[in-house]
Structures are given as structure tokens and as C-alpha cells.
Amino acid sequence: MPIEYLPILALIVLAVLFALGTLLMSSIFGPKRPTPEKLSPYECGITPVGTARERFSVKFYLIAMLFIVFDIEIVFLYPWAVVFRQLRLFGLIEMAIFILILCIGLCYAWKKGGLEWE
């Protein structure tokens, strides 16, 4: 192992020791006063209803996937906007095609009722 990497290795070891030491010290010296309120799961201030093993509708997952698709679209739009002047007309046409494909997918999901929440 080259000697140049020794400071990085020392920093990693120090960070791991600090994290483990902090967890150990808080478990040893931290107060332990469990109450029913502290042991209940926190759900935005609302009392939990039902079990965590409840099944979700397929529509929930469809809407979640659509959200991810359009969230990823934004990830691609930002770098395109940064280099828009260098790409010129080619970049504009490519992005228009990309957005058109996404709009066709959105219209298809809308037509099939994938965005309807019951």
C-alpha cells in the first residue's frame, strides 16, 4: 500500500472509532426511561392505526413509479439547461423528443386511469 494513502486510512479509522465510541457512550450513560409514548412509532403526530404489514393497492405503486419517472426527468433537465448554449439546436431538438416521449407516457397513464386515486 503506497504511503500516500496512509492519512486517508487514518481518517477512516478515526471516523469509525468516533462513531462506535459515541454509540457506546450514549448506550452506557444515556437515560433509560421508556414510556408508551416513546416506544410507539411516530407517524406525523397521528396515532398509528392498523399494522405495518398492511397491503397497498397496485395503483399506489403505479403512482410511485410515475413520480420517480418524472423526478428523473428533472435530473436530466438541469444539466441540459446548464449546457444549453453549447448544444444549440441539436440539444433543443433532443430535449423536445425526450419531453415528448415522457408526455406520451403521461397521457397513456392518464387515459388508463393510472392517476385516479380511490
Question: What is the torsion angle, in degrees rounded to the nearest 10, for the CA atoms of residue 34, residue 35, residue 39 and residue 44?
Answer: -130
What is the residue type of 53? Answer: R
Domain with residues 3-111, CATH architecture: Up-down Bundle (1.20)
Per-residue pLDDT reduced to its tens digit, 12-51:
999 999 999 999 999 999 888 888 877 777 767 677 677 7
Per-residue pLDDT reduced to its tens digit, 80-100:
999 989 999 999 999 999 999
Question: What is the torsion angle, in degrees rounded to the nearest 10, for the CA atoms of residue 61, residue 63, residue 69 and residue 74?
Answer: -130
Q: What is the pTM for the complete model shown?
A: 0.50
